[in-house]
Homo-oligomer: A and B are copies of this chain.
Amino acid sequence: MTTGLVLYGYWRSSAAYRVRIALNLKGLSYETRPVHLLRNGGEQHSPDYREINPQELIPCLLDGERVITQSMAIMEYLDETHPETPILPIDARGRARVRALAMTVACDMHPLGNLRVLNQLESQFSADEAQRGEWSRHWIATGFNALEAMLADNAATGRYCHGDTPSIADACLIPQLYNARRWKLPLGEYPTLQRIEQACNELEAFQLAVPEAQPDAPVSA
């Protein structure tokens, strides 16, 4: 489906990865405009990009003239403007559960291990690579412990985080698991998360969204 949607992202950003999954689940084609987070002092800080998103963060979605920032807001927007193939349940209780699972990743895990946060740990506390890894693993493990408890033995959990339809909760969880592996966090304590990941990764929507499949991924990745 031709949409005129443009996604500013970065291959390895887990927030951009979420939005790619959501776009794919909805079968919406989009143009990718890579913003290289490490090159030229961070292209997200360039005057041109700041004009589009004053927060100087990716992802950012253009829908014609409209600029939508923040991955969670983008996914909700896509669900409202393209209601076919919903990525949130219909009932308020289910929607709240899915959003709470998604926010556990988006508010309490991912922001703490973001590039800019690791850079600040380095500049303010001289944190070396090992210490930044310890920091990242601490927050990912804390969040995964909670998610495993929220998902295991819960009647609302199905093949995916909520029933048998992938949702924004899965779109947040899978990139966070990818991120956990980068930090070499052992995942043995999270059998439910791993089971859901396996189910998601069987879907083309998730396969096409992986960082290594993006046009801006380095050839060696």
Contacts and interface: CB of A to CB of B under 8 A. Distances in A.
A70 B149 contact: no
Contacts of A80: 92, 95
A96 B77 contact: yes
Contacts of A111: 107-108, 111-112
- Stoichiometry, copies per complex: 2
Nearest to A82: B92
Interface stretch (A4-12, A54-62, A185-193, A207-215): A54-62
A125 B121 contact: yes
Interface string A70-85: 1011101100110000
A73 B103 contact: yes
A103 to B, nearest CB: 4
Most B CB within 10 A of own CB, among A95, A96, A120, A135? A96
Given A80-B92, A111-B107, A146-B54, A99 B121 contact: no
A121 B127 CA distance: 11
A113 to B, nearest CB: 11
A117 interface: yes
Contacts of A134: 124
Contacts of A150: 54-55
A177 interface: no
A218 to B, nearest CB: 27
A107 B116 CA distance: 13
Nearest to A138: B120
A68 B150 CA distance: 12
B55 A108 contact: yes
Interface of A: 54-57, 66, 68-70, 72-74, 76-77, 80-81, 92-93, 95-96, 99-100, 103-104, 106-108, 110-112, 117, 120-121, 124-125, 127, 131, 134-135, 138, 143, 145-146, 149-150
